[in-house]
């Protein structure tokens, strides 16, 4: 799926606003568009360009949330949600923007560890991969345990351990049946393992509702 959205819905008043020098500079629009262009044309270095773009987007987002930006937009007669701002000013899909901003928040040592981890495991660098990798790291805990110098190693070890336990967990007992159902009263999820145990946090009545819904869809 493309991360670039069409910006045809931009009104002339909005387009005019986006040409203002102060807006372009505070919202880092030139830099973001440059990154977008680089992403379109570059081969193999997309990850580092994305990270560069993520840093600009973070600054852009900070500006958008500032009182001065709100006042300027009110003055110009424009009211945007964050999603509208992102899509109209940068042409980037909001989902991709959220992933990039999340990626920009990770500490540099985590990013370095992720890069090394990928090199050692012949993996492909990606923003989604970085976010997944970093989510399983408790930096404060690791810093307290290993100190600054061994931190990168400790991060990789922690991620490997996490992966191993995930694999072990998923290998330990086979699941033979699962059901999940989204309804107004909340989510229903249930599974039956190879020993015939029903694992769920829902009531019997909720599971029966889910089954009834499934049955209504069968011909």
Give the Cα separation of 97 and 104 in Å (integer): 11
Sign of CA dihedral 97, 102, 108, 114: negative
Q: With CB under 8 A as the contact rule, which of the stretches 22-30, 40-48, 78-86, 174-182 interacts with other proteins?
A: 78-86
Q: Are 127 and 100 in contact (CB under 8 A)?
A: yes
The answer to whether 55 contacts other proteins (rule: CB under 8 A) is: no
Give the Cα separation of 111 and 10 in Å (integer): 35
Query: Given the complex with other proteins, which of 71 and 120 has the nearer CB atom?
Result: 71
**Residue 176 belongs to what H/E stretch?**
strand 175-183
The answer to whether 13 contacts other proteins (rule: CB under 8 A) is: yes
The answer to whether 75 contacts other proteins (rule: CB under 8 A) is: yes
DSSP per position, 109-162: HHHHHHHHHHHHTT----HHHHHHHHHT--HHHHHHHHTTTTHHHHHHHHHHHH
Shortest CB 79 distance to other proteins, Å? 4
Out of 62, 84, 162, 209, point to the residue binding other proteins (CB under 8 A): 84
Contacts of 189 (CB under 8 A, 6+ apart): 178, 179, 180, 181, 200, 201, 202
Classify burial at 113, counting beta carbons within 10 Å of its beta carbon; exposed 0-12, middle 13-18, buried 19 or more. buried
Look-up of token digits 């540099």: 108
Q: With CB under 8 A as the contact rule, which of the stretches 4-12, 30-38, 100-108, 112-120 interacts with other proteins?
A: 4-12
Q: With CB under 8 A as the contact rule, which of the stretches 13-21, 29-37, 124-132, 171-179 interacts with other proteins?
A: 13-21
Binding-residue total with other proteins (CB under 8 A) = 15
Q: Cα angle vertex 22, ends 20, 28, to 5°?
A: 100
Out of 2, 21, 41, 81, point to the residue binding other proteins (CB under 8 A): 81
Query: Given the complex with other proteins, which of 75 and 149 has the nearer CB atom?
Result: 75
Query: Given the complex with other proteins, which of 80 and 213 has the nearer CB atom?
Result: 80
Shortest CB 91 distance to other proteins, Å? 16
Q: With CB under 8 A as the contact rule, which of the stretches 44-52, 73-81, 97-105, 178-186 interacts with other proteins?
A: 73-81
Out of 77, 185, 195, 201, point to the residue binding other proteins (CB under 8 A): 77
**Structure letter (DSSP) for residue 77:** T
Q: Which residue ranges make up the site for other proteins (CB under 8 A)?
A: 9, 11-14, 16, 74-81, 84
């Amino acid at each position: 799926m493309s991360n670039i959205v069409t910006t045809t819905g931009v009104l002339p008043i909005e387009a005019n606003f986006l040409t203002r020098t102060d807006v372009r500079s505070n919202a880092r629009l030139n830099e973001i568009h440059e990154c977008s262009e680089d992403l379109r044309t570059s081969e193999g270095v997309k990850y580092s360009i994305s990270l560069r773009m993520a840093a600009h987007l973070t600054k852009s987002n900070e500006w958008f949330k500032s009182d001065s930006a709100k006042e300027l937009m009110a003055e110009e007669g424009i009211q945007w949600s964050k999603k509208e701002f992102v899509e109209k000013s940068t042409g980037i899909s909001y989902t991709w923007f959220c992933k990039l901003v999340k990626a920009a928040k990770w500490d540099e040592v985590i990013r370095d560890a992720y890069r090394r981890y990928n090199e050692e495991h012949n993996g492909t660098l990606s923003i989604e991969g970085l976010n997944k990798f970093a989510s399983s790291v408790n930096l404060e805990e690791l810093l307290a345990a290993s100190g600054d110098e061994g931190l990168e190693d400790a991060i990789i070890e922690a991620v490997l351990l996490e992966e191993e336990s995930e694999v072990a967990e998923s290998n330990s007992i086979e699941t033979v049946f699962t059901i999940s159902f989204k309804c107004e009263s909340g989510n229903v999820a249930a599974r039956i393992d190879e020993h015939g145990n029903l694992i769920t946090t829902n009531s019997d009545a909720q599971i029966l509702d889910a089954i009834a819904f499934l049955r209504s869809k069968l011909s």
